[in-house]
Amino acid sequence: MTDIKKLDSEYIAPTYGRTDLCLKEGKGSTCFDYDGKKYIDLGAGIAVNGFGFCDEEYKNAVIEQLSLIQHTSNLYYTAPQAKLAELLCIRTGMKKVFFSNSGAEANECAIKAARKYSSDKYGDGRNVIITLKDSFHGRTLTTISATGQEAYHTHFGPFTGGFVHVAANNVDEMKKAVKENKCCGIMIELIQGEGGVNVLLPEYVKEIEKICKEEDILLIIDEVQTGNGRTGYLYAYQGYDIEPDIVSTAKGLGGGLPIGATMFSDKVKDTLSAGTHGSTFGGNPVVCAGAFSVLSRITDDVLEDVKKKNKFIVDELAGAKGVKSITGLGLMLGIETEKDNKEILNKCLERGVIVLTAKHKVRLLPALTITDEELVEAIRILKEVIAE
């Protein structure tokens, strides 16, 4: 471990404030570091490992494709990519998909599509995309511009123009921004993940949908974190009774390998025409075979189970000693605590439980398939640490 830390600090660009942990192996939601110390994981690699570590079916799907062909480029057709796109459309009602390699790229694609849709139909100049304060949409220059947090808007200027940020859950502010800007899109997370696990109110989201329909503004839902079963719905928007024009996702879709997907409704399914967008790795067959294995197994039973696990966690922690509030949906939860969240993270780690933070909260994003045994044990320890 000291060797690894030394190499890392010498050779890795220092962009990450790393936690003192280096995992070697794992199965399900249980994993081990290089000293053989055991941990129960409530982070799932930031909502990525939906079926936990080294899930057998996932592993076999990836290995099988890897032994056939690992990459061909998008100059040619590949079966895993076409099949994954079909499954995404069947499960969502969206009509077409563009594959990339990350959440930021999935959002870049969504932004390009919204601007092109508008420029095709209304000419240039109608290009503003409204996003929310405390949002997070990625780390590329354009997606940090989209991100509604001042802390991201330094050092790297000039930034991509055309983004306006408004307060979440405030209909009047949204209406005012729509009126004052030439908008082509509104992009929102239904639960702001990095921004502190803030849930958007259903009536607010319905109102945004209405505004978008009336003004022919595209409704873009960033489901990079909320998607792929995380909230107890396959995609969180399916619990909001809305019809988005564009849905972006990443994290949990790949089950551990990098993928981004941007899904288009009927209205925008052919907007990004030949030559207007692309990716060398996007839709890589190995990654898509793994994603197909993940997506095809996020069944109604799994989603019900996510809701049950949510209830268990909320019942345990709401009103418990040291807990101020708990927000979120499904297995995407933010816990506001009396103690400093970093202190809780480190104490949990000492006692063999991995948790995350978001803003001032403790954030939980466990694997959808965490066992009751693992969950009961991890929440018992977390509860004790919070109460100490």
Ligand X SMILES: *Cc1c(COP(=O)(O)O)cnc(C)c1O
Residues 6+ apart with CB under 8 A from 183: 126, 128, 129, 130, 177, 215, 217
Instruction: Give the residue carrying structure tokens 């290995």.
Output: 63
Q: Which of 31, 61, 94, 104 binds ligand X (CB under 6 A)?
A: 104
Contact status: 136 vs ligand X (CB under 6 A) = yes
Contact status: 229 vs ligand X (CB under 6 A) = no
Contact status: 31 vs ligand X (CB under 6 A) = no
Side-chain half-sphere CA neighbours of 285 within 13 A:
17
For the CB of residue 277, give the shortest distance to ligand X in the complex, in Å: 17
Instruction: Give the residue carrying structure tokens 């076409």.
Output: 82
For the CB of residue 338, give the shortest distance to ligand X in the complex, in Å: 27
Smaller CB separation from ligand X, 356 or 379: 356
The C-alpha atoms of residue 386 and residue 388 are separated, in whole angstroms, by 6
For the CB of residue 249, give the shortest distance to ligand X in the complex, in Å: 9
| Window 233-272: contact mask with ligand X (x via CB under 6 A) | -----------------xx---------------------
Contact status: 222 vs ligand X (CB under 6 A) = yes
Residue range at the interface with ligand X (CB under 6 A); choices 209-217, 219-227, 263-271, 344-352: 219-227
Q: What does 117-184 look like in DSSP terms, one character per residue?
A: HHHHHH-TT--EEEEEBT----SSHHHHHHSB-GGGSSSSPSPP--EEEE-TT-HHHHHHHHHHS-EE
The C-alpha atoms of residue 152 and residue 30 are separated, in whole angstroms, by 34
The C-alpha atoms of residue 340 and residue 362 are separated, in whole angstroms, by 9
Looking at beta carbons, which residue is closest to ligand X? Answer: 103
Q: Counting every residue, how long is the chain?
A: 388
* β-pairing verdict for 128-132 and 96-100: unpaired
Contact status: 218 vs ligand X (CB under 6 A) = no
Q: What does 38-59 look like in DSSP terms, one character per residue?
A: EEEESSHHHHT-TT-BT-HHHH
Residue range at the interface with ligand X (CB under 6 A); choices 121-129, 151-159, 217-225, 276-284: 217-225
For the CB of residue 158, give the shortest distance to ligand X in the complex, in Å: 21
Smaller CB separation from ligand X, 116 or 137: 137
Q: Which of 102, 145, 198, 327 binds ligand X (CB under 6 A)?
A: 102
Q: Which of 28, 50, 148, 193 binds ligand X (CB under 6 A)?
A: 193
- Point out which residues pair with 334 in neighbouring strands: 327, 363
Q: Which of 45, 103, 232, 252 binds ligand X (CB under 6 A)?
A: 103
- Asked if residues 272 and 263 have their Cβ atoms less than 8 Å apart, the reply is no
Smaller CB separation from ligand X, 263 or 386: 263
Contact status: 138 vs ligand X (CB under 6 A) = yes
Measured N-to-C along each axis, helices 300-317 and 372-387 cross at an angle, to the nearest 10 degrees, of 20
For the CB of residue 103, give the shortest distance to ligand X in the complex, in Å: 2
Smaller CB separation from ligand X, 28 or 193: 193
Binding-site size for ligand X (CB under 6 A) equals 15
Contact status: 189 vs ligand X (CB under 6 A) = yes
The C-alpha atoms of residue 164 and residue 184 are separated, in whole angstroms, by 12
Smaller CB separation from ligand X, 114 or 381: 114
For the CB of residue 138, give the shortest distance to ligand X in the complex, in Å: 4
Numbers of helices and strands, H then E, in the chain: 12, 17
Q: Which of 194, 209, 245, 374 binds ligand X (CB under 6 A)?
A: 194
Q: Which residues bind to ligand X, rule: CB under 6 A?
A: 102-104, 107, 136-138, 189, 193-194, 222, 224-225, 250-251
